[in-house]
Structure 1
């Protein structure tokens, strides 16, 4: 597919609402946001939605960051209207998913920003290859093997809810103010390019290749969402190859 600047803009307009729906879906799985712990199966199910949502958003930010000059594509929130200069995302954003929290310190916001890069190493999810344990097998010639499963182990304890909720909040912040985070990513890309031009060994892209995208094969995703994610991946690859300069 030949991507043009107009098609990249349409990609952002079509798929940004999809990313918001994924973030909303993940947050709805956490029944009690005020709880200190979350059941392990709920935690895993939220991550199955959150990983592809983060990856999708990260690639759309890359498309936006590679646009020259960087100009606002999405409407700014009222809190940022009239603010000029390169500033960090406002911690009091107005998100349709997460209500704004007044009084949040800027220092805390700088320590909890959305991760723009993806790790180069691949980690299989904990439940990708379930381990089945069996009891002792007694073989009697001519009668086959007699076996029985071991008794089920005690249920695993719940997990702390704070890290998961913080991850959801960071995604909400990006969805509420993508231009500021795209500017962060543009500066990171410039630093990577500068390091390579200086002869230093560095990564070529802040994201993984399409086939290694985190959460791309997540089970809860429908075929329409998978297709949208694949389309966003193609657009990110095209932006990296200079699609913004083709129009």
Structure 2
């Protein structure tokens, strides 16, 4: 099987889909380098930062927002695009030369005078004999500093599918339909928020990060393939040590964002995902003997 032909053909298709998503969301100005590479084989043009549906790229550097209907429409196509790019990385890793597995790094020996007890201290403590460690050998505890959670500036495309939740889906009540408990002491009823509408503005910061990660993966596919090879080596090392690790990067059943067999494939990305899903399983099956 000619893996390079399949890689280049599907990579060009994913570039077209990515360019269409960037143009649909109106994020051309935020994706200047990526959009230039995608326009070579895509259909995204212009750079006004705002589309006809009301999406705002906010080129000034603030938090981008999108209408709810546009945000959902981009996500509906972004999920299968990420799944297809993940499987393209697995196929690209098939073309890399098979290098011998690197030896497991040796663990550093404990420094003398540290907090780790030696063998004699462990034996005495197992017998119930108290051991007093001099204060000079105990390291001073670090002062706890409250951690400040900041939004990430960039993310990487995950190499493994997100697993399904085996338990039943919990029933939730939307805020606009939550029950209100009143008392008989003249309390004023709490005003519930209005129900969501298709034109509500939603924060699209996470959406921009996912689009950037997808564009970076398609621009440097060999680097992503080497990432997957390292992931495979880490999995083999963990399983050799008896640790729990994922068996396969692909989850069982349909890939994330794929259409069921009963529904028609109404977009190019669904056909690309179906082909790449088959290619990825063939790449993970074993050595090519054709």
TM score, norm. by length of structure 1: 0.63
- In our comparison, the structure showing a higher alpha carbon Rg is 2
CA distance in 1, matches of 2:16, 2:240: 40
Distance 1:116 1:13 in 2: 19
Q: Tell me the equivalent position of 1:167.
A: 210
Q: Say if 2:81 and 2:269, in contact at 8 Å, map to a contact too.
A: no
Residues 220 and 44 of structure 1, relative CA distance in 2, 3 Å threshold: farther
How many residues are paired up? 178
Using the TM superposition, give the Cα deviation of residue 207 of structure 1 relative to its aligned residue in structure 2, in angstroms.
2.1
Cα separation, partners in 2 of 1:187 and 1:154, compared to 1, 3 Å: closer
Is residue 2:238 matched to residue 1:204? Answer: no
Paired with 2:220 and 2:21, the residues of 1 have a C-alpha distance of 19
Per-residue CA distance 1:90-149 (angstroms, 9 max, x = gap)? xxxxxxxxxxxxxxxxxx77x5222222211259xxxxxxx9xxxxxxxxxxxxxxxxxx
TM norm structure 2: 0.54
CA distance in 2, matches of 1:185, 1:191: 10
Aligned counterpart for 2:197 among listed residues 140, 155, 164: 155
Q: Equivalent residues in 2 for 1:6-25 (5 A)?
A: 6=2, 8-25=3-20
Q: 1:224, 1:27 → 2: CA distance?
A: 16
Q: Which has the higher contact order (CA 8 A, sep 6+)?
A: 1
Give the secondary structure class of the aligned counterpart of 1:195.
helix
Matched, 1:67 2:111: no
Partners of 2:271 and 2:215 in 1: how far apart? 23
Distance (whole Å) between structure 2 residues aligned to residue 154 and residue 66 of structure 1: 46
Q: 5 Å matches for 1:1-247?
A: 4=1, 6=2, 8-31=3-26, 32-34=56-58, 36-69=64-97, 112-122=155-165, 153=195, 155=197, 157-209=200-252, 211-217=253-259, 222=266, 225-242=269-286, 244-247=287-290
Q: Relative to structure 1, is the Cα distance of residues 163 and 154 closer, same or farther in structure 2, using a 3 angstrom cutoff? A: closer
Contact 1:49/1:221, CA 8 A, preserved across alignment: no
Structure 1: runs of 5+ lacking an equivalent: 72-107, 124-130, 132-151
Q: Give the 3 Å change call, closer, same or farther, for CA 24–70 of structure 1 in structure 2.
A: farther
Displacement of 1:155 in angstroms is: 2.5
Do the aligned residues in 2 keep the contact of 1:33 with 1:165 (CA within 8 Å)?
Answer: no
* Alpha-carbon distance between aligned partners in 1 of 2:98 and 2:77, rounded to the nearest angstrom: 30
**How far apart are 1:51 and its partner, in Å?**
0.7
Deviations, residues 145-189 of structure 1 (Å, cap 9, x unaligned): xxxxxxx94527421121111111111111111111111111011
Q: Which runs of 5+ in 2 are unaligned?
A: 27-55, 100-151, 167-173, 175-193
CA contact 2:25–2:57 (8 Å) conserved in 1: yes
